[in-house]
Amino acid sequence: METTRSTLSDLEPLLSIEGLAEYLDVPVTTIRDWRTDGKGPCAIKVGGRVRFATSDVLTWLLRQRETEPGRGPSGG
């Protein structure tokens, strides 16, 4: 019987707050404010540091998409 083992290359990439801020082109303080207000993507705490799974960021981004030009995700 063959056992499949995961390697580090199989793991989903994680972004730091700084990495996410750079990716979204917003200040780090904006990411922190979003976390405080419950508006940003879900995070993972690892060793006391906040990290963001790329799949969670992409899911959150899709929810931010306008339903049509000029209208927010909620239609407003």
The encoded tokens of residue 38 equal 């419950």
User: pLDDT > 70: what percent of the chain?
Assistant: 88
pLDDT at 3: 61
Q: Does the structure show a pLDDT above 60 at 18?
A: yes
| Spatial CB neighbours of 25, under 8 Å, sequence gap ≥ 6 | none
Q: What is the CA radius of gyration of the chain?
A: 16
The partner residues of 45 in beta bridges, in order of sequence, read 50
Binned at pLDDT 50, 70 and 90, residue 48 comes out as: very high
Q: What amino acid occupies position 60?
A: W
Supply the pTM of this predicted model: 0.78
User: Taking all residues of the chain, what is their mean pLDDT, rounded to a whole number?
Assistant: 89
